[in-house]
């Protein structure tokens, strides 16, 4: 199957699929004319990558998950550890963003948003604010 079809089936752009091949995440067969030829197993692998990436795993983590996926003797604890680390990281990111939002929200509320030049947001950024 050509890359266009693999792209449709996996939900990944062709560009991304070639990129994943470049960095060694898969190596499809080639037909006589030099076209890449994807098997169903390749597509499966691509979908795995698409799902993992959309769950926030980095490409390197995906690489690790893929090797665990193919390791029939894997221990589920190994997979769980990766997922839990990711969870902690996501929680940290959320907390950081919430803090950011609260601060920004506070500033926006205090800003009149009219035609006058007084602006607590600018004051804050310039170091003359009362919040930070």
Partner DNA sequence: GGTAAGGCTTCCGGTTGATGGAAGGTCAAC
Partner DNA sequence: GTTGACCTTCCATCAACCGGAAGCCTTACC
Which residues sit at the interface with a second copy, rule CB under 8 A? 44, 47-48, 51-52, 55-56, 65, 68-69, 72-77, 79-81, 83-84, 86-87, 90-91, 93-94, 97-98, 100-101, 103-105, 107-108, 111-119, 121-122, 124-127, 132
CB of 34 to a second copy, least distance (A): 30
CB of 107 within 8 A of CB of 120? yes
Q: Which residues pair with 30 in a beta bridge?
A: 36
Partner interacting with residue 14 (select from DNA, a second copy, none; CB below 5-8 Å by kind): DNA
| Residue ranges in contact with DNA by CB under 7 A | 2-5, 13-16, 18-20, 32-36, 53, 58-60
- Asked if 11 and 47 count as a contact pair (C-beta separation under 8 A), the reply is yes
- What the block records as the tokens of 67 is 């090797």
Contact of residue 119 among a second copy, DNA, none (CB under 5-8 Å per partner type)? a second copy
Whose tokens are 């009219």? That residue is 114
In which region does residue 127 sit, left (phi positive, over 0), alpha (psi from -120 to 50) or beta (all else)? left
């Amino acid at each position: 199957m050509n890359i266009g079809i693999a792209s449709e089936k996996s939900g990944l752009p062709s560009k991304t699929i070639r990129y994943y091949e470049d960095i060694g995440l898969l190596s499809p067969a080639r037909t006589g004319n030099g076209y890449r030829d994807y098997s169903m197993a390749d597509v499966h692998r691509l979908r795995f990558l698409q799902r993992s990436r959309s769950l926030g795993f980095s490409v390197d983590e995906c690489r690790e998950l893929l090797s665990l996926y193919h390791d029939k003797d894997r221990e589920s604890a190994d997979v769980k550890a990766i997922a839990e680390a990711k969870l902690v990281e996501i929680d940290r990111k959320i907390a950081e963003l919430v803090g950011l939002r609260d601060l920004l929200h506070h500033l926006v509320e205090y800003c009149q948003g009219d035609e006058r030049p007084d602006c607590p947001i600018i004051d804050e950024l310039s170091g003359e604010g009362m919040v930070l």
